[in-house]
Structure 1
């Protein structure tokens, strides 16, 4: 998201190998071969295990050996050109160093995906970097690591795989010691430790490496902490101090629901947006965000945090309260909201699924006004703000027509025209790469009265009809009634664009590849787009 966590996707580069040399080299080599005695044919590829920074370097030839020699193996599939992989490399090496003296049964390893496509296909790798955890030589069912890609988190995740994921508590002293030991402690109170709910609890504990887990079946601990039925309790050293998740007696404990509960309630009621917190903010799966823009260097601005904090509790889980410091490194956030720092202090409400943004009806920022603003947006009383640039005087004078929010509906849904629109961002690399092709397409069809080639800057213009989530997005609006929209997802070259238009918006058959090409980053969409 980048408002931090929006990610960039990269197109895999194919490498061509060339031979260097001068004329006559080939003939000289042939003469040398004629003079040399016949060499023995090479043997099978070596399965030797080599290391770099305490990390095994694996190929298709030594992979099986690594599984045999190490009971636990965490394997990173990476690409040399992947930006995320390069940034991760020091953390992965640090994790390997931390684990160096832990156990000979455990090892970190890496695979150069583009160079080892057989392994990529075998293990279903669709993006870089990807981590697969192998246990007891089981090659067919590796576990995917999806935790924070930081050295300490990787180590904690692995240790929970190797040892107990949660501590069994027998006494009040043990429970108190565990609760006091960390900011976030989760204790499962289960009357029957052999029940399926207990297994679900332990499965969650293995992955939630940013929390410490314990469990108990002792009646005195149920009584001590006011628990009468099977319950998962999150103890925290901030905000409410505690959050309870009673287990449904009929449905039991579900991993998805409990995981979501822990994510939501482990967050502070008011989260400050920065590089460290952004992934957690967007990973919470809370779609509604209320954002307070303030200058943290100004005392009157900081005093507004009290009312903002007071309004937050009733909206826990439904609206995430976020503070953005306009004096910090948050220019990209201001740009996304179409704001500048001088507008602070102010509020914005945004749904990150639809990207619809809402402005407050008053400049007052108090607990009461913040509560009313949230309630009005959620109930539909406040209409979303749709940004639009002014319509350029010469918007239709060039082959590529310039659309903005104010003229989009009139042009795109003109029933007498077939309109092909590129939705772009000025900073988008892929948009820049196809800019000339789009110009060439417009030039080619400029004399077709029923075809319009257009573009719209989606960072400065928002539409009510739909949301643009990635760049470039190409949409075709065919002539006729019904406001039909066709999203173009084929090749971005002049020939394919032309076939698409000449066929009345029918997508050409996509070229099929024998081997899927993984992309960089966590978003594995087949479209190569820069996202917000």
Structure 2
């Protein structure tokens, strides 16, 4: 090959290796990034999928995500409030966006975030996908917004002068101000963390000496200002141990309650959340002047029991029949007092005829708290025909005599009149009683556990079946197997236990446990 042709050949080789557009053959041309998927919205709420969650986290600094199921009643109830909250957030230009995920339709996301029930809400801050915060706030629009506001902004307002502090106190019924000489102290972090979740109170924070002086303080103190009762309650910070969040929380709950609270649908959640175990209830008819005249004396006794006894007024002329039933009372019994320990459910009543005065109320509370008053048990009257049907009717007043009769084997169903599971097994229980009605040593009975209380034990779920075998010793066996006639009969015929039957080897396999009374129709669920 001549030297003259070599440059030409090299040039041809180079040209052949390149495409007409000057790019290497076989190499992919750089393409533009595909446009990111647009996230659909419904009523101002992002509708997320497995593919769009990452995009939403990149685009939104704060993201509250509701995992819902289309068939979930609680989700349907939340939907209008969630949409309203989205509108409120948009109006405030808050840096938070609401989103939702159809959990059953997006199982990967439900599994990733451990969603086991609906609705479940999780808050993602600054795009952090691995550690979302569980939403623990209210399920109404304003509460949702306030919960979010305290996460993306300060949970307590910084107060710089007397004018700002007084304006805050005047604007709200409940205001909590933390007076700290050093705002870098770890007690301040504890205070702010509590403020994030105490949504029914407004929080302020200051280190200004003039504000310490204005409110008569010389050391770190958390002060609750309120527009009722004594107007103010102080919680000094322990100089050695610091600020304990549990102690402060209990203090705020206790002192944010009115000394006397009227029971109604709005106050009942706060009454039961107050963590005060003893509740003293004054039942009266608010439409009667003579009953209303008892309120001052009742309230006069309350301050000395602050934190020990919660004083509650129940108007028998209002929609409070369920409260009367719980205490076994009729409206005609008013005015009257009852004290209940909500942990033990033990109930106490004053002596018949005691007037409702500051002195009598004080004496009654002292007597109960010191153990001088015995609790009472609810009981219906014994029906005249309690033993005339195959299923015998037991009440509190005849239970001991019948159930612990040493000559009888007694099988008792403890039920609630409104319990669906109890109603479903009623035919089998009636058939069982009919089958054994001629057995002199076997009694089939039932007891309404909502209207009758027992000293021997407490019934925690419905229906509960207990077997009391004949003989000494007050033995009690709980029945937890199937509730059909055949299985119940085998239990009785075998002296209070089910016979063990070996299944054929090829069929032998562990069977699932039957539902226990703690999970079927339990009081906690109902």
Q: Distance in 2 between matches of 1:241 and 1:321?
A: 18
Moved more, 409-418 or 137-146: 409-418
Partner SS, residue 339 of structure 2? strand
Cα RMSD (Å):
3.3
Shift of the 435–98 alpha-carbon distance from structure 1 to 2, 3 Å rule, reads farther
Partner SS, residue 199 of structure 2? coil
Q: Counterpart of 2:522?
A: 529
Q: Distance in 2 between matches of 1:403 and 1:153?
A: 47
Q: Distance in 1 between matches of 2:343 and 2:54?
A: 43
Which residue among 417, 430, 438 is the counterpart of 1:426?
417
Q: Counterpart of 1:70?
A: 60
Larger RCO: 1 or 2 (CA < 8 Å, sep 6+): 1
Report how far residue 492 of structure 1 moved.
5.6
Checking the alignment, whether the CA contact within 8 Å between 1:190 and 1:230 is kept in structure 2 is: yes
Q: Distance in 2 between matches of 1:114 and 1:461?
A: 43
Gaps (5+ residues) in structure 1? Answer: 1-45, 514-524
Q: Distance in 2 between matches of 1:458 and 1:358?
A: 19
Moved more, 189-198 or 175-184: 189-198
Q: Quick check: which has more Rg, 1 or 2?
A: 2
Q: Counterpart of 1:258?
A: 248
Q: How does 1:117-128 map to 2 (within 5 A)?
A: 119-125=109-115, 127-128=117-118
Q: Distance in 1 between matches of 2:427 and 2:55?
A: 51
* Residue 144 (1) aligns with residue 137 (2): no
Q: Counterpart of 2:162?
A: 172
Give the alignment's TM-score, normalised by structure 2: 0.80
Which residue among 190, 210, 219 is the counterpart of 2:180?
190
Checking the alignment, whether the CA contact within 8 Å between 2:461 and 2:519 is kept in structure 1 is: no
Q: Counterpart of 2:267?
A: 277
Give the alignment's TM-score, normalised by structure 1: 0.79
Checking the alignment, whether the CA contact within 8 Å between 2:462 and 2:520 is kept in structure 1 is: no
Write out per-residue CA displacement over residues 61-99 of structure 1, whole angstroms, 9 at most, x where no aligned residue: 544444343332223344455444443333222212211
Write out per-residue CA displacement over residues 364-404 of structure 1, whole angstroms, 9 at most, x where no aligned residue: 11111111111111112222221212333444454543221
Q: Counterpart of 1:367?
A: 358
Q: How does 1:2-81 map to 2 (within 5 A)?
A: 49-60=39-50, 62-81=52-71
Partner SS, residue 423 of structure 1? strand
Q: Counterpart of 2:146?
A: 156
Partner SS, residue 207 of structure 1? coil
Which residue among 214, 231, 244 is the counterpart of 2:204?
214
Q: Counterpart of 1:511?
A: 512
Aligned residues: 476
Shift of the 363–72 alpha-carbon distance from structure 1 to 2, 3 Å rule, reads same
* Residue 378 (1) aligns with residue 379 (2): no
Shift of the 486–97 alpha-carbon distance from structure 1 to 2, 3 Å rule, reads farther
Partner SS, residue 99 of structure 1? helix
Report how far residue 450 of structure 1 moved.
6.8
Shift of the 306–216 alpha-carbon distance from structure 1 to 2, 3 Å rule, reads same
Q: Counterpart of 2:323?
A: 333
Checking the alignment, whether the CA contact within 8 Å between 1:490 and 1:510 is kept in structure 2 is: no
Which residue among 440, 445, 459 is the counterpart of 1:454?
445
Partner SS, residue 333 of structure 1? helix
Q: Distance in 1 between matches of 2:116 and 2:286?
A: 42
Moved more, 234-243 or 447-456: 447-456
Checking the alignment, whether the CA contact within 8 Å between 2:460 and 2:523 is kept in structure 1 is: no
Shift of the 350–506 alpha-carbon distance from structure 1 to 2, 3 Å rule, reads farther
Q: Counterpart of 1:311?
A: 301
Shift of the 364–121 alpha-carbon distance from structure 1 to 2, 3 Å rule, reads farther
